[in-house]
Amino acid sequence: MYFLVFLCFCHIFVNPLRVIYFVVQNSMNFIVIKHILR
């Protein structure tokens, strides 16, 4: 039971980090593309 709670907590904690990393990467690519197209 505690192990499942721990897994849930890790999943909830790790997922936002991945989402933030993904968003930052995409925004960087978007800025670079806009700069190139200018």
For residue 25, the model assigns a pLDDT of 93
Instruction: Give the sign of the dihedral formed by CA 28, CA 32, CA 35, CA 38.
Output: negative
Buried b (16+ CB within 10 A) or exposed e, 1-38: eeeeeeeeeeeeeeeeeeeeeeeeeeeeeeeeeeeeee
For residue 18, the model assigns a pLDDT of 86
Q: Domain span at residue 32? A: 1-38
> What Cα–Cα distance (Å) separates residue 9 from each residue in 2, 19, 25?
10, 16, 25
For residue 27, the model assigns a pLDDT of 93
For residue 4, the model assigns a pLDDT of 85
The 10s digit of each residue's pLDDT in 1-38 is 788 888 888 888 888 888 889 999 999 998 888 888 88
For residue 17, the model assigns a pLDDT of 85
For residue 6, the model assigns a pLDDT of 86
Number of domains in the chain: 1
